[in-house]
Amino acid sequence: MMSKLAMFPYYFPEEIFLEIFCKLPVKSLGKCMCVSKAWNSLIKNPYFISSHVSHQSKLRRTNDNNLFFVMTGRHEVEYSLHSDDQEFRKYAQLEYMPFDNHHSIVGACNGLLCLMDFQFSFDSIFILCNPIIRKSITLPKPCLSSLPYKISVGFGFDSAQNDYKLLKITKKGVLDKYVEVELYSLKRNCWKILAPPKYDLYSDDFMVYVNETVHWIAYERVNNEGSYSCKLLILGFDMRDDVFKEIMLPERLRNLPHQSEIYVIPYDELSSIAVIELGSLHAECDIWVMKKYGVVETWTKMYSLGKLGTEPMPRVLGFRKNGDLMLRTYNNLRLVSRDPESHEIDYFGIQGRRTYVCNYTESLVLLDRVIDDAMTENRANYAGNANR
């Protein structure tokens, strides 16, 4: 049987190569590619790229080498990686990003960032970017391209097919009964339209990727003897099987009081999800964690937080390894860390009107990707629109 790593040097056994090189960061692998043509070919091999990102993801979960990707800025947007240590030390400044300041980041998975822009047309423009290896791909236009009343998008990975997928759900108008759904596959480089679920979009927040599933808040209208109410739940889309699944919320969150709101964030410590419940006028915040993913009975209210001074409750962006919360303050838009038990605050000197934070794993994903004619044409069309 032929080795999965073709052209492997006879003097360097494959298993030894994988054991050593999968532990190396991308920067070190870049130097190795310059040492030997054989190593260059091996590192670009799809099997090695998959093995490397899998190993790096395990390292991130089991040791203290956790990284955060941070986008922030007031006038010019900046991108950087930070170590999840006490000082939130800057690990690397990222110079390469294929969009200007008008884009949004949908999510990150295995070192890939998914970006979305509405600036130049009514069409959604999506790009997949690996800023570490400075490579990006502009996706073909979605099938359903009219300007929606509401849109939610989720990005994730299908390990069974070694494929990256993007789920897009839109609602054309406020009175429309059904949403529209389409799914992009990087492997096929195309979109396909899916049958919509019976639930409506609760908000236009981007979806949260956990356990090969993207998650978002949905609702259905319930008729109680002529009186209508909205029943909230978490809807998931399994990237492996391309199917929707329902996850019930804690009973208290299924019918929110007026002027309250909820949203989903990842809870990486348990490979699960958490729900942030903002009280009326954002005066307080409760954090609910599903301690065993998919088991409704394990929903637990972990923390209750109050405001920071006189300003409204900050936006909860995620969790750190030590259990602290990453927050974006409401008025001055500072990125801070808060101990949910002692309520001690750490300030990092990071501030900006557009702040995005997520866990990040360095990878070689897209290194083996050839930009074919169709993708080149998509990039040319985007550039043409940008210059109009």
Measured between alpha carbons, how far is 266 from 289 in angstroms, rounded to an integer? 9
User: Is the model's pLDDT at 279 over the cut of 80?
Assistant: yes
Going from N- to C-terminal start, the domains of the chain cover 249-352
User: Is the model's pLDDT at 120 over the cut of 70?
Assistant: no
Q: What is the pTM of this model?
A: 0.88
Measured between alpha carbons, how far is 214 from 235 in angstroms, rounded to an integer? 8
Measured between alpha carbons, how far is 124 from 206 in angstroms, rounded to an integer? 14
Average pLDDT over residues 172-187: 87
Average pLDDT over residues 271-275: 96
Measured between alpha carbons, how far is 49 from 67 in angstroms, rounded to an integer? 19
Q: Confidence band (pLDDT; 50, 70, 90) for 224?
A: confident
Residue reference for tokens 């978490």: 234
**What single-letter amino acid sits at 10?**
Y
3-state secondary structure of 32: helix
Average pLDDT over residues 233-244: 97
Question: Which tokens is 267 given?
Answer: 């809870």
What are the tens digits of pLDDT across the range 71-116? Answer: 987 777 889 999 999 899 999 999 877 776 678 899 999 999 999 9
Measured between alpha carbons, how far is 238 from 49 in angstroms, rounded to an integer? 23
Q: Looking at residue 249, what is its pLDDT?
A: 97
Q: Which of 31-35, 241-245, 295-299 has the lowest mean pLDDT?
A: 31-35
